[in-house]
Amino acid sequence: MPFSVRLTPKEDALLEIASPLTTLSKSRLARQAIEEFCRRLQREEQSAFDRYWL
């Protein structure tokens, strides 16, 4: 699904540097970072839920 994000010059430069190091395209690298960030938030939320209710 198409999605547009405006990056700062610094963020774009970071992707430019990281992309060849990972052999991922800038788009794939950004998608992977978003997925990993969201999964981490979900785990933290579940952990907080478990501590409260279990």
Structural domain includes residue 1: no
> Structure pTM?
0.74
Structural domain includes residue 41: yes
Structural domain includes residue 44: yes
Owning domain of residue 13:
9-53
Reported as a single tens digit per residue, the pLDDT across 2-53 is 889 999 999 999 999 999 999 999 999 999 999 999 999 888 888 876 777 7
Q: Given the structure tokens 């990972």, which residue do they identify?
A: 22
Structural domain includes residue 4: no
Structural domain includes residue 38: yes
Count how many domains the chain has: 1
**The one-letter amino acid at 43:** R
- 3-class SS of residue 3: coil
Structural domain includes residue 2: no
Structural domain includes residue 13: yes
In this prediction, residue 54 has a pLDDT band, given cuts at 50, 70 and 90, of: low
Structure tokens given for 13: 């430069």
